[in-house]
């Protein structure tokens, strides 16, 4: 049974009705469980949660994270390969409707220059991103880019358009070990409104992308909803349900959840609903209690102050020093960003703050050393002059 079938078993109207009925006792019961059920998780997302209950949940989430992950935070950086896109996502600066954006797809030399920049900063874990424009940056381009930079890093993830299982397999063979694919919103009624045209219109193909990636052997699967697009509680619930499904089905893979909140982007989209800091903290804690072993990822979309405050609640991985335009690390700032970064600190500043809070900063994914295939010690230059 695919996650699409699972999703149909939890109609949004039923969830909303259940949340309306949540009482203090339900939240207390959920907080007392060693392993909260999916219904407990829904109760923990309730807007009825009191400050005292939230405080309790934060303490529990911190404890569980310490038990499972210790005091470690993995740092990674995004590397944008292309901002060409044939989709019209209303909230994204790369949307095909954004006619004023200067479009760019990095060539070999530029890709390597960006990668070397990130390597010099200390990163060994990077995320390659593109829009969805097969003419400019399709699967062949992506596979080539992966082969160019894979020898330079210990972990290489992609955040690109959804692929078939065979497509993911090609990228795994080239050196990819992680996949991030946000569903944006799990609301099947709302989804077409935000994705009015282009291949991304296909809700189900996107939803089942992480499953195809898992089947292809990708060992780190990342999901998330773009918070602010749909109803907070239902999208937060479906995100947890989705992560739990992937963890059960792909038990050899590390499943992680990100919490992107809508940020102002080129094109001027403003979120319909605002997910506030309290709700974001509530979601992080509730997910940690539902899924003690899931990776929880926080990007530079959030402010430095908030990221520092959320750190102890269960975060295991953070981006740092991010640029969201292709070629931006080496100075091509005029190409247009996908969204505005809020935490503008350098990777070293982030490292110091994280270390100052008593955490070990991990730049490198050691698991990669034990998987067949790419390892950092294969780095011997890229062949690009
Ligand atoms: S969110 Fe992705 S698919 Fe949509 S417009 Fe932006 S880059 Fe393209």
DSSP per residue, 347-380: HHHHHHHHHHTT-EEE-S-GGGGGSSS--GGG-S
Rounded to the nearest angstrom, the distance between the alpha carbon of 81 and the centre of ligand 1 is: 13
Confidence check: pLDDT of 382 > 70: no
Query: Which atom of ligand 1 is the closest one to the Cα of 198?
Result: 3
Which residues neighbour 193 within 8 Å (Cβ) at sequence distance 6 or greater?
90
- Mean residue pLDDT of the chain comes to 91
Task: Name the burial class of residue 9, with classes exposed (0-12), middle (13-18) and buried (19+) by CB atoms within 10 angstroms of its CB.
Answer: exposed
Rounded to the nearest angstrom, the distance between the alpha carbon of 371 and the centre of ligand 1 is: 31
Asked if residues 210 and 179 have their Cβ atoms less than 8 Å apart, the reply is yes
Q: How many Å apart are CA 79 and CA 155, to the nearest integer?
A: 13
Q: How many Å apart are CA 175 and CA 143, to the nearest integer?
A: 9
pLDDT at position 363: 85
- Report angle CA 255, 257, 258 to the nearest 5 degrees: 145
Residues with CB under 6 A from ligand 1: 85, 87, 89, 92, 94-95, 131-132, 200
Strand partners, 128: 79, 158
Pocket test for ligand 1, best of 200, 262, 269, 336 (most atoms within 8 A of CB): 200
Q: How many CA atoms lie within 13 A of 142 on its CB side?
A: 30
Q: How many Å apart are CA 83 and CA 162, to the nearest integer?
A: 16
Which residues neighbour 381 within 8 Å (Cβ) at sequence distance 6 or greater?
none
Query: Which atom of ligand 1 is the closest one to the Cα of 86?
Result: 8
Q: How many Å apart are CA 324 and CA 311, to the nearest integer?
A: 22
Among the listed residues 45, 59, 62, 64, the one whose alpha carbon sits nearest the alpha carbon of residue 278 = 45
pLDDT at position 324: 87
Distances (CA, A) of 134 to 82, 141, 143, 198, 309: 11, 9, 12, 12, 40
Q: How many Å apart are CA 129 and CA 325, to the nearest integer?
A: 10
Confidence check: pLDDT of 319 > 80: yes
What domains can be seen in the chain, in order of their start residue?
Answer: 3-370 (3.20.20.70)
Confidence check: pLDDT of 301 > 90: no
Confidence check: pLDDT of 182 > 90: yes
Instruction: Express each pLDDT in 24-78 by its tens digit.
Output: 999 999 999 999 999 999 999 999 999 999 999 999 999 999 999 999 999 999 9
pLDDT at position 330: 87
More confident site: 275 or 270: 275
* CA-atom Rg of the chain in angstroms: 20
Which residues of 89-200 form beta strands (DSSP E)?
125-129, 155-159, 178-180
Rounded to the nearest angstrom, the distance between the alpha carbon of 354 and the centre of ligand 1 is: 31
Across 275-291, average pLDDT: 97
For the CA atoms of 150, 156, 157, 162, the dihedral, rounded to the nearest 10 degrees, stands at 20
Of 74-78, 234-238, 376-380, which gets the smallest average pLDDT?
376-380
User: How many Cβ atoms from other residues are within 10 Å of residue 206's Cβ?
Assistant: 19
pLDDT at position 42: 98
Query: Which atom of ligand 1 is the closest one to the Cα of 200?
Result: 3
Euclidean distance between the first and the last CA atom of the chain, given in angstroms as a whole number:
49
Instruction: Express each pLDDT in 73-115 by its tens digit.
Output: 999 999 999 999 999 999 998 999 999 899 999 999 999 999 9
pLDDT at position 58: 97
Task: Name the burial class of residue 35, with classes exposed (0-12), middle (13-18) and buried (19+) by CB atoms within 10 angstroms of its CB.
Answer: exposed
């Amino acid at each position: 049974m695919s996650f699409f079938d699972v999703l149909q078993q939890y109609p949004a109207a039923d969830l909303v009705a259940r949340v309306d009925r949540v009482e203090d006792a339900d939240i207390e019961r959920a907080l007392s469980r060693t392993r909260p059920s999916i219904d407990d998780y829904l109760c923990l997302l309730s807007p009825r949660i009191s400050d005292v209950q939230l405080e309790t949940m934060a303490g529990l989430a911190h404890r569980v994270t310490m038990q499972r992950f210790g005091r470690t935070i993995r740092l990674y950086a995004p590397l944008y390969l292309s901002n060409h896109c044939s989709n019209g996502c209303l909230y994204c600066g790369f949307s095909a409707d954004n006619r004023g954006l200067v479009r760019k797809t990095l060539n070999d030399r530029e890709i390597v220059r960006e990668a070397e920049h990130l390597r010099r900063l200390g990163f060994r874990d990077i995320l390659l991103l593109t829009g969805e424009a097969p003419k400019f940056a399709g699967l062949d381009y992506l596979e080539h880019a992966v082969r160019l930079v894979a020898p330079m890093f210990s972990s290489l993830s992609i955040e690109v358009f959804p692929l078939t299982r065979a497509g993911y397999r090609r990228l795994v063979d080239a050196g990819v070990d992680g996949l991030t694919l946000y569903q944006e919103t799990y609301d099947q009624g709302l989804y077409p409104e935000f994705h009015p045209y282009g291949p991304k219109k296909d809700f189900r193909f996107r939803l089942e992308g992480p499953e195809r990636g898992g089947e292809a052997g990708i060992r780190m699967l990342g999901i998330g909803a773009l918070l602010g697009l749909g109803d907070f509680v239902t999208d937060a619930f479906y995100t947890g349900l989705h992560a739990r499904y992937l963890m059960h089905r792909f038990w050899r893979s590390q499943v992680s959840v990100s919490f992107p909140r809508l940020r102002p982007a080129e094109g001027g989209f403003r979120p319909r609903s605002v997910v506030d800091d309290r709700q974001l903290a509530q979601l992080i804690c509730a997910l940690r209690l539902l899924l003690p072993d899931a990776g929880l990822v926080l990007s530079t979309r959030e402010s430095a102050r908030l990221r520092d405050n959320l750190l102890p609640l269960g975060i295991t991985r953070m981006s740092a020093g991010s640029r969201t335009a292709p070629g931006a690390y080496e100075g091509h700032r005029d190409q247009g960003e996908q969204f505005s970064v809020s935490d503008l600190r350098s990777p070293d500043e982030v490292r110091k703050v994280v270390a100052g809070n008593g955490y070990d900063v991990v730049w490198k994914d050691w698991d990669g050393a034990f998987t067949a295939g790419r390892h950092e010690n294969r780095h011997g230059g890229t062949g690009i002059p």
